[in-house]
Amino acid sequence: MNKLFVYAEHREGIVKRASLEAIAAARDMAGDGEVTALLVGSGVDELAAGLGHHGADRVLVANDERLGRYSPTATPKVVAEAIGVAGASIYICGATAQGKDLSARVAARLDAGLASDVTALRLDGDDLLCEKPVMSGKAIGTVKVASDTVRLVTLRPNSVPALEADSNRSCAVESIATDLDDSDLHSIVTEAVRSEGGKIDVSEADIVVSGGRGITGPEHWAVLEDLADALGAAVGASRAVVDAGWVPHDIQVGQTGKVVSPGLYVAAGISGAIQHLAGMNSSKCIVAINKDPEAPIFKVADYGVVGDLFEVVPALTEAIRELGGA
């Protein structure tokens, strides 16, 4: 029977949805086996029950005030030890920026196999098989994670739905000690500054509205933000507009930007270059708005609107507002 382990990432007192999705994936594969989640941080006990509501059987809590923020050197050590405590054979973590950094370090510590940024995973007998987009998303590769110890996976956000919270579902909560000395803490994050207050992270959003060079200038960007506001969406961008300095790089979608997999991706004034598609073609539903009927973006779109975005986008925004939002 497999024992599965999930690293539960949290920020500002809230567990990341990517971690709840990882618990759902673990729950799906565990069958009658145990799903253990780990919380690392300072004063994080109160988050444990919520992990149980979302499918964890057991929650390990590593409370240490030195770990109030993620430490690239100390947190992987704590996680590697907790995997041993859980006796886990499979580890799943959301493929967020922190999750990817952490998981590579844990894999190195445990000399374990790691499949990163997978979009689906399953057990075939004892084999752990993971699907991941390859060749800029043109193909899906199936990767078998081999390891004599634990097998590690990072799961792309929005690939697997989180389980509905069930407040009747409980979990065992156990504190675990952290065995850290100064040499483990030689790298610590002293401050985290949001680039812009309150904006939704494009790589974890369920709806993304992205704009490209068709927007024609930063003074018109508000047309896109209005639609994003109406939909409760994050705003993304093509590299062309990032390179032009209209918007910051942290919202760039694509091969050299962020990889997104939302339920809905709206591309306005984006041609659909292969490097852009690499970052968004695993979206569940793609809506393209472009005045050129030959634009490559239409090849991957589920719905295409051939038209001037300055007419189509405001009309869409108004219609969504009339319907009361997304």
Ligand X SMILES: Cc1cc2nc3c(=O)[nH]c(=O)nc-3n(C[C@H](O)[C@H](O)[C@H](O)COP(=O)(O)OP(=O)(O)OC[C@H]3O[C@@H](n4cnc5c(N)ncnc54)[C@H](O)[C@@H]3O)c2cc1C
* Residues binding ligand X (CB under 6 A): 212-214, 238-241, 252-257, 269-271, 273, 275-276, 279, 289-292, 295, 308-310
Pick left, alpha or beta for residue 41 (phi over 0 → left; psi -120 to 50 → alpha; otherwise beta).
left
* Number of other residues whose CB lies within 10 A of the CB of residue 124: 9
What's the closest the beta carbon of residue 263 comes to ligand X, in angstroms? 20
What's the closest the beta carbon of residue 208 comes to ligand X, in angstroms? 13
Phi/psi of residue 309, each to 5°?
Answer: -60, -25
What's the closest the beta carbon of residue 300 comes to ligand X, in angstroms? 13
- Residue 41 or 236 having the CB closest to ligand X: 236
What's the closest the beta carbon of residue 118 comes to ligand X, in angstroms? 20
What's the closest the beta carbon of residue 117 comes to ligand X, in angstroms? 15
* Number of other residues whose CB lies within 10 A of the CB of residue 304: 18
- Residue 106 or 295 having the CB closest to ligand X: 295
Q: Where are the alpha helices (DSSP H) in 130-236?
A: 222-231
- Residue 67 or 270 having the CB closest to ligand X: 270
DSSP state of 55: T
- Residue 13 or 217 having the CB closest to ligand X: 217
- Residue 62 or 208 having the CB closest to ligand X: 208
**Which amino acid type is present at position 20?**
L
Can you tell me the distance from the alpha carbon of 99 to that of 11, in angstroms, rounded to the nearest whole number? Answer: 13
- Residue 221 or 310 having the CB closest to ligand X: 310
- Residue 39 or 268 having the CB closest to ligand X: 268
Can you tell me the distance from the alpha carbon of 294 to that of 175, in angstroms, rounded to the nearest whole number? Answer: 59
At which residue do the structure tokens 């599965």 appear? 4
Buried b (16+ CB within 10 A) or exposed e, 148-177: eebbbbbbbbbbbebbeeeeeeebebeebe
DSSP state of 119: S
> What's the full length of the chain, in residues?
326
Task: Provide the terminal-to-terminal Cα distance of the chain, rounded to the nearest Å.
Answer: 42
What's the closest the beta carbon of residue 235 comes to ligand X, in angstroms? 14
Using CA atoms, how far residue 120 sits from 41, 76, 100, in Å, is 29, 24, 16
What's the closest the beta carbon of residue 142 comes to ligand X, in angstroms? 25
- Residue 48 or 277 having the CB closest to ligand X: 277
- Residue 114 or 224 having the CB closest to ligand X: 224
What's the closest the beta carbon of residue 160 comes to ligand X, in angstroms? 24
Strand partners, 15: 10
* 2 closest CA partner among 37, 30, 25: 30
At which residue do the structure tokens 């964890």 appear? 56
What's the closest the beta carbon of residue 114 comes to ligand X, in angstroms? 24
